[in-house]
Each structure stands twice: as C-alpha cells, then as structure tokens.
Amino acid sequence: MNTDGRGYDLLALVGPTATGKTETAILVAESLGGEIVNADSMSFYRGMDIGTAKPTVEERARVRHHLIDILNPDELFSVAEYKARAEAAIDNVLARHRVPILVGGSGLYVRAVISGVSFTQAPPDYELRRQLTAEAEREGTPLLHRRLAEVDPEAATRITPRDLKRIIRALEVYLTTGETISSLQALDRERPPRYNTCQFGLTLPREELYRRIEARIGRQLAAGLVAEVQGLLDRGYHEGLVPMKGLGYAQVARYLRGACSLGEVVVALKRDTRRFAKRQLTWFRADPRIQWVDMMEVGGPVGAAKLIAEKW
C-alpha cells in the first residue's frame, strides 16, 4: 500500500470512448504528479494513431505515458502479457514516488490489473488457437461449443454458441492445463488485488455522447484516417490481424477494397462506435467500486480533473 498518506496505490480512470478520458487524465496527472499507464488495447500499436484517438505527441510531452506504441500491428499480445507489463510500469512509477494513473476503456485489461485476476495458469497457445479456428471453419462453431459443454458445462452455459473467440479460449485453457476455465476463474476471484485502487468513471448523457462520437469520427476522417489505413495495408498489415479489425480500421479497409462507399463507412462507423460505447458502459457499470463523474455536470475535463484530484 502507498505510504504517503493517501491510502491508495493506483488511480484508475475509465469509461466509454469519447468521454474525455485522455484530457482529463493528463490534467489529473499534472495536478497530482502522476504518470499514465495505458489501458486502451488499440493504443498499443505503432502506426495506428488517428483511428485509435491515441494521445498526441504534444499530450505525451506534457505527462509521461506507459504502454503506448509498444507493438507492431502483426504482433500478438495477450491480456496476461499486458497485466505483467502494466504491473511493471505501475511498480516503476510507485518506486519513484509518483502517482500511477491507469487510463482506458478496455475493460478486461483494466480488470486484469485492478482485480487481482491471474492468467498465469494458462498462457496463450497460438498454434492450438489456429487449429481450433480451422476446425470451426470446417465443421462450424456449434461443434466446438458442444465440445466445450462436454468438459466445462458451466462455461458453455455462459458462452453463446456463436462466440467463437471465448469458446476457443475456454477449450484452450482446458486442453493446456487439464483444468476448466470455470474452476480457474473461481480461484482468480479469491485472489486479493495487488493494488489498492481508487476508480473513477467518466460518463455523459447518451445524446451528448453520441454527438461527440460523431464529431470525433468527422475529425478522424479529416485528419487522414483513410490514408492511415491505406498505409498500414501497404506495409502488409492485412485485414485479418486483430488490430486491423478495430473500429475505423475494419470499416475503412472495406472501403479501400471496394466493398462499400465512403458514405457507407461513415454510417457504419458511427453505428458501430455507438454500440461499442454502450458495451463499454455496461461493462464498467457492473463494477460498484467506480465513482462516476458526469462530464456535463462538472464542466468537462477541467472540472472532472479538479474533482478527481480532490477525492484522491
């Protein structure tokens, strides 16, 4: 635990996309003497700047950021690997008597750090994943789901027959450890968290959030999102890569191969981003430890940062 009197080791700032997390986090860091640890999975990747709304070079010059631009788009990176690197960064910040601020909207990555969840029992087996994916393509996803139901009925009940990614992960855990993912998750829930964390979530009324999402998409396109995606494709980063399936990149890539018009890209991107923000909010709302900050009520990032700094 922190020894400077606050009682907290870690400050976490979460919430849906387009709520102002980046600017608020920078202001909080400047106020508290902090450094930002990225928890946005798309910001790990080099060359993916516009579509990810990554902190700019100027913003990163104001406050030190960790775990941004650490991977090429074709590099694999598991949640377990993220957890290890995030904890190393947080420990480094604490050792220098600074305030670590975990910032992002990728809920699973945030939870991996703050909730004591351990992924060490089942490191990723990428070859097995490829084999299971190929089997699903040949025989259908429901077949894999039935296999999962035979070995881990609890997981099969939670995971829908269409959710191939989670089905594969559950089978991977069983096949590599001999234990079901359900039993390991039960053990994970019993582990105490590594850090005493103070969590804040940023929120906006739905209509305002959607307005800001649409405005951001307009700025991204004006800033050169299409050229950014074309450059990635030109360098050999194909559409099948995980980051290339991210918001903005997948839609624009379809346009670049002639599958849709640019107008259709805009419509799809606005729709998909609204849905993504709704999923993010649902995820974070399930955590009762989060203190919510309405960005309209506090007057935007400046007011939010002042409130968070005072509560910290």
Q: What is the pLDDT of residues 42-74, one digit of tens each?
A: 999 999 999 999 999 999 999 999 999 999 999
**Tokens found for residue 235:** 């360098």
Evaluate whether 252 touches 263 at the Cβ level (below 8 Å): no
- Give per-residue pLDDT as tens, 78-104: 787 899 999 999 999 999 999 999 999
Rounded to whole angstroms, the Cα distance separating 1 from 8 reads 7
- Domains of the chain and CATH, by start: 10-120+193-205+288-311 (3.40.50.300), 126-188 (1.10.20.140), 207-277 (1.10.287.890)
Rounded to whole angstroms, the Cα distance separating 131 from 172 reads 10
Q: What angle do CA 158, 14, 54 make, to 5 degrees?
A: 110
- Residue 190 pLDDT level (bands cut at 50, 70, 90): low
At 1 the pLDDT is 43
Rounded to whole angstroms, the Cα distance separating 52 from 110 reads 17
Evaluate whether 138 touches 102 at the Cβ level (below 8 Å): no
Rounded to whole angstroms, the Cα distance separating 228 from 235 reads 11
| For the chain, percent of residues with pLDDT exceeding 90 | 82
- Give per-residue pLDDT as tens, 106-161: 998 998 899 876 665 667 788 899 999 999 999 999 999 999 999 999 999 999 99
- The enclosing H or E element of 292 equals strand 291-294
pTM above 0.95, yes or no: no
pLDDT of 232 higher than 70: yes
Which residues have CB under 8 Å from 69's CB, separation 6+?
A: 43, 44, 45, 46
At 3 the pLDDT is 38
